Structures are given as C-alpha cells and as structure tokens.
C-alpha cells in the first residue's frame, strides 16, 4: 500500500519521470504529467504525451517492469517500482487533471525560487495532448529525498 504522504505527492505538484527497459536491459525514460492513485492504494495511473510513449510502452508490454520517480520542487522525492497493467488514450477528465497539475507545478516552482522565465515554460510547456494513460501496480515505494535516508524502502 502506498503511504499517505506519497499519495499526497502523487496528487500534488510533483515532477514525474518513468523508467523502463527493453529485453537487452537498455533503459528508457519519459516524463509524465499528473498521476492518480486508485482506491486500492496500490494501482496508479500516470499520463504521458503520446509522442513520447512509444519506446516505454514497447518495453512495458514486453516485460512489464516500471519505475516511476517523483520529485517536488523542495527536493522531497520518492520512487515507485512495479508492474505494468494497461494503457489507454487520455480523456477529458485526465486532461483537466493534467492542466490543473501544470498550474500547480508552476506555482510550486515559483515558491521554490525558480525565476518566472524558467518556471513558466518549464511547467506550462509540458505537452498533455494527445496523451496516454499508463496504469501500473506499485509493489515497492522508496524514499529518494537526497540525504542519508535515500533508498529506504517505505512500503
């Protein structure tokens, strides 16, 4: 089960990256904008621009292994590791959630001291349409905030 604080982070202004790998163990990366934790507190859906989803989806349908990194502007960070379940095109509800998330990312980046000239294009420039919703089961949750506790298994 995903800890309360990590659910808050997943639903908050968090920068999300996805890691996968192919059969030759070559890693791949893409960014995601927005996430939803399902009621079981173990299933998570993240949203990825379609144009950036090809390689990761090939990996995920091939072997299922996924890592999702989460970082707040404060550097508080976590990582989820788990197994791919499914994907589908994003819908209006997803896009509304993503737009709200972009606005929250801008606000948090400004609060963290990033100049507007960087924070605005960095947050609001994230593409959301067309998009793919990728759902996975989180099996491990790690603390990743820089410091001595980084790497601690939380769940």
Partner 1 sequence: MAILPDDIKAAMQGVIPSHVVTCSHDGTPNASAISQVYYVDADHVALSHQFFNKTKRNLEENPRAMAWVISPETFEAWDLELEFVRSETSGPIFDIMEMQIEAIASMVGMKGIFKLRAADVFRVTAVSKAVGERIPLAEIPRAR
38 CB neighbour count, 10 Å cutoff: 12
**121 binding partner 1? (CB under 8 A):** yes
The least CB distance from residue 99 to partner 1, in Å, is 11
**111 binding partner 1? (CB under 8 A):** no
- For 146, the 3-state DSSP assignment is coil
Based on CB atoms, which residue is closest to partner 1, 39 or 82?
Answer: 82
Based on CB atoms, which residue is closest to partner 1, 39 or 51?
Answer: 51
Identify the residue among 76, 127, 154, 155 touching partner 1 (CB under 8 A): 127
**67 binding partner 1? (CB under 8 A):** yes
**89 binding partner 1? (CB under 8 A):** no
Place of tokens 């982070």: 9
**Spatial distance between the Cα atoms of 127 and 149, rounded to a whole number of angstroms:** 33
Based on CB atoms, which residue is closest to partner 1, 38 or 75?
Answer: 75
Identify the residue among 7, 31, 36, 85 touching partner 1 (CB under 8 A): 31
- For 91, the 3-state DSSP assignment is coil
**21 binding partner 1? (CB under 8 A):** yes
Is residue 35 exposed (0-12), middle (13-18) or buried (19+ Cβ within 10 Å)? buried
**154 binding partner 1? (CB under 8 A):** no
Identify the residue among 45, 77, 87, 108 touching partner 1 (CB under 8 A): 77
Return the ∠ at Cα 143 (arms to 116 and 52), rounded to 5°: 55
Asked if the peptide bond before residue 96 counts as cis, ω within 30 degrees of 0, the response is no
CB 134 within 8 A of CB 84: yes
Identify the residue among 17, 42, 43, 135 touching partner 1 (CB under 8 A): 17
């Amino acid at each position: 089960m995903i800890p309360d604080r990590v659910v808050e982070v997943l639903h908050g202004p968090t920068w999300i990256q996805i890691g996968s790998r192919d059969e030759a163990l070559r890693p791949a990366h893409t960014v995601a904008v927005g996430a939803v934790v399902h009621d079981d507190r173990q299933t998570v859906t993240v949203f990825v621009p379609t144009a950036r989803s090809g390689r990761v989806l090939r990996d995920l349908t091939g072997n299922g292994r996924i890592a999702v990194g989460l970082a707040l502007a404060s550097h508080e960070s976590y990582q989820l590791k788990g197994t791919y379940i499914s994907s589908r095109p994003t819908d209006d509800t997803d896009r509304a959630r993503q737009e709200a998330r972009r606005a929250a990312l801008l606000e948090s980046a400004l609060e963290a001291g990033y100049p507007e000239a960087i924070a605005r294009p960095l947050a609001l420039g994230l593409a959301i349409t067309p998009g793919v919703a990728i759902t996975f089961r989180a099996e491990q949750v790690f603390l990743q905030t820089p410091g001595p506790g980084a790497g601690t298994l939380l769940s």
